[in-house]
Structure 1
Amino acid sequence: MTAHPRDFQVVTADQLLIGASEWRHDGEASGRNVVVIAPATSVRARYYHRFAEYLHASGCDVVTFDYRGIGASRPPGGLRRFNASYVDWGRYDLEAVLQYVTSRYPGQPIDVVAHSIGGFTLGLAASSHRVRRALTVGAQIAYWPDYNPRKRLQMVLRWHLFMPLVAWLFGYFPGARLGWLEDTPLGIVRQWSALHRDFEKQPWKTHRTDPPLPLQFELFRGETLAISLADDDWGTPAAIRRLLDLYKHARRHHLHLEPADIGVSQIGHFAYFNSRFADSLWPLALRWLQTGAMPAPFAARLCAVG
């Protein structure tokens, strides 16, 4: 029987409402982990709900949320002239959710599943030091030279030229109308199209934070498993390692998977969380979140980073 989530909102430090959902068990919570799912760019939280239901049915409490400007966190007045940045998504939105979980799930271990840019926003949240364990899937910062060389030109034209041009014309990116993910704030599109390999040269360099953004990542010390997929054109091994290098004080592990490892022809950047992988990929995530280990034969393929 599928458990129904409770929908709610959290208020960020800059006074925006973030839409969220939670799957929570009744009764004694001793030892039970609570998993926060940090989405990819322009992907609604509801995409991860079947995965959240799986984790809940397997004994976890789970919280999902939408970043500002996306899905249930879309502003009432629409996205034109709505300001948002990747820094906002981590420093305010994910941070508000982590604070909520810390308050409402006292004493329970906090784990994070981070998809794509979610692996970056985690490092921007001041409460990331409270996270016990993280699992990232295809987590990277969209630095285009790290893309799959065979698809790089096509991806640059689509995501780094056409997408920002359309966003500039409309005042936001009308992704839902075009069938390209979700409607996305202009500020996010601008950053996506201009990300740099050197952190200090990123397009959010004007943000003033304490500690400075590069040092913020060093506060995270959770045990981390970064999964890359061989047919993920964004999350190549080079892209995965580039992001992992920011988490200097975390215990970092990298697992590279081929679709053939689970008897399929393709997985790609988004499909890890599709329910067709509930019996193959999802148990790997569950095992890591609950125990910090991988089942055989995958355990032998874990690579320590750093």
Structure 2
Amino acid sequence: MITYDYRGIGESRPASLKGLEASWSDWGALDFEAMLQRAQREFAGQPINVVGHSFGGCAAGLGASGHLIRRLVTVGAQFAYWRDYAPAHRWRMFAKWHVVMPLMTMLCGYFPGKRLGWLEDTPAGVVRDWSTPSNRYEKRPSGRLIHARTGRLPFANVSAQTLAISLSDDPYGTIPAIERLLGYLTGSTNTHLRITPEDIGEEEVGHFAFFRSAYQATLWPIALSWLQTGELAPDTPGRRVPRN
């Protein structure tokens, strides 16, 4: 198994984030791509399966070697497009992520998330991508056609069996938000599983909790089963969202 940091995050963080060149595209086209290539070298001949949470699901579509992925599980993965936010939370989330966050970034030269108790400290270029109110990847400041000759976005390289998991109480990962990302994965076989907390006997799960040990017996087996077989077990909680 390989886990990794995006540039500017965790152990890849330099002494100062001010002036660090990093963006959504870099996190996917450079950092995730480097992870795929390392996996291919170190585990030669073995299938590569990927699990990505939130932006991690987008990153999986940005690597030039996305064709190497056999199976992909995403959890709450979306583009942070404000119109996709859950209606009851939309304006509060818009103010937080698309007004306060970029303003703080302009003042500090990066987003001081740790100091605010709000995510990790984040490079300014990534914040620009997050906060730009566009429903399309290529309309973000760093969005770009990696394959200029073919005119295809890199997402089309992914031919994996893809399971997109969303939670009904995740204000970011609404059905429209998940489907928007899946719409870019034109070369993969996509299944969208929608789970409510009640399906697993819980009151809430939300956007961030899927990988906490409290859900090891209820949610983790869903992802594991997909990575092992490419199928959902008959007793899998939740419902499949019909694809258009």
Task: Work out whether 1:230 is the aligned partner of 2:168.
Answer: yes
Residues 225, 255 of structure 1: 8 Å contact kept:
yes
Change in Cα spacing, 1:267 to 1:300, as seen in structure 2 (3 Å) is: closer
Q: Which residue of 1 aligns with 2:157?
A: 219
Distance apart, 1:300 and its partner CA = 8.6
Distance apart, 1:299 and its partner CA = 7.8
Task: Work out whether 1:180 is the aligned partner of 2:131.
Answer: no
Distance apart, 1:210 and its partner CA = 2.4
More strand by share: 1
Unaligned ranges ≥5, structure 2: none
Q: Which residue of 2 aligns with 1:67?
A: 6
Q: Which residue of 2 aligns with 1:169?
A: 107
Q: TM-score, with normalisation over the residues of structure 1? A: 0.76
* Letter in structure 2 aligned against 1:129: H
Distance apart, 1:284 and its partner CA = 0.8
Task: Work out whether 1:140 is the aligned partner of 2:86.
Answer: no
Computed over aligned residues only, the root mean square deviation of the Cα atoms, in angstroms, reads 1.6
* Letter in structure 2 aligned against 1:133: R
Distance apart, 1:204 and its partner CA = 1.9
Task: Work out whether 1:201 is the aligned partner of 2:133.
Answer: no
Task: Work out whether 1:289 is the aligned partner of 2:227.
Answer: yes
Unaligned ranges ≥5, structure 1: 1-61
Percent identical pairs in the alignment equals: 49
Distance apart, 1:208 and its partner CA = 5.7
Residues 252, 304 of structure 1: 8 Å contact kept:
no
Aligned counterparts of 2:131 and 2:185: Cα–Cα separation in 1: 23
Q: Which residue of 2 aligns with 1:301?
A: 239
Task: Work out whether 1:122 is the aligned partner of 2:60.
Answer: yes
Aligned counterparts of 2:178 and 2:147: Cα–Cα separation in 1: 26
Mapping 1:1-306, distance limit 5 Å: 62-75=1-14, 77-205=15-143, 207=144, 209-211=146-148, 214-298=152-236, 301-303=239-241, 305=243
The alignment partner of 1:182 has SS state of: coil
Q: TM-score, with normalisation over the residues of structure 2? A: 0.95
Aligned counterparts of 2:162 and 2:123: Cα–Cα separation in 1: 30
User: Which whole-Å deviations, capped at 9, do the CAs of 1:243-280 have from their partners, x for residues lacking one?
Assistant: 00001111000000000000000000000000000111
Residues 229, 258 of structure 1: 8 Å contact kept:
yes
